[in-house]
Structure 1
């Protein structure tokens, strides 16, 4: 059997999670035409009052430099601004603009629709069990916890 056939018939965890991730990213990006799937690393974790870039990097699992580039792009799109952090004026917060807040709301609504569709496809209880299991696996795979990277 060819490797491609084997992978198609029995995909590994990386391939399965990548397929699901890419499908979800496409559906979420469609909810706001100006953003790209990669912008989810910021928009998915952004609080209304703002976050430091280091916090966004930690939450999303991305390098701080990547987050900086994404924030630059989102700032150019008018979705976020950088403002002084009231707790430490030397630090900056990434804060959503009114347009950014609307994009976050649209993303949340799109994500809810994706989850509803998936739950409908496999059943609500199975979907909740899948999410719990996926969360446990993600937590076990977090760098620095002794699990392989």
Structure 2
């Protein structure tokens, strides 16, 4: 059976693989963003920034999409608001609700992050071959969504 460290080296489970992928992508993304002047945001802010829409999104939807608790999202939105990346605006569809909307700096960050992520994905698509990469992403999405349903996260 071997040690846990040996198993994680030779046959890591989904959690270990997902964590490794997440940390590696976040590391590259946030290092590149810092080099472009966005050195005041951190990987934890990705729970908001990854799902932010130019027209705004409710905090409850950010919570659902990211899988983070509403209180965590509220704290992250507060931080991003203080840093100048987002603003809260009344939701025109429900006056009691607020939309989290990117500021101009937030839009600049979103555009930079999209380019960086496109480059990361392009690198992997070239390495694996486009068809294989498309299949990989489809299977990863399927496994992820199946796991989220099983855990009651959707």
TM-score (norm 2): 0.89
Match of 1:52 in 2: 58
Kindly state the Cα deviation for residue 148 of structure 1 after the two structures are TM-superposed.
Answer: 4.6
Counterpart secondary structure, 2:89: strand
Q: Please say which of residues 121-130 and 74-83 is displaced more in the overlay.
A: 121-130
2:91 is the alignment partner of 1:90: no
Counterpart secondary structure, 1:67: helix
Distance 1:97 1:7 in 2: 42
Gaps of 5+ in 1: none
Q: Please say which of residues 25-34 and 94-103 is displaced more in the overlay.
A: 25-34
Number of paired residues?
A: 146
Gaps of 5+ in 2: none
Match of 2:28 in 1: 27
Q: Please list the CA deviations of residues 50-89 of structure 1 after superposition, one character each: whole Å capped at 9, or x if unmatched.
A: 1110011111111111110110111111000111112222
Aligned ranges for residues 69-148 of structure 1 at < 5 Å? 69-143=75-149, 147-148=150-151
TM-score (norm 1): 0.92
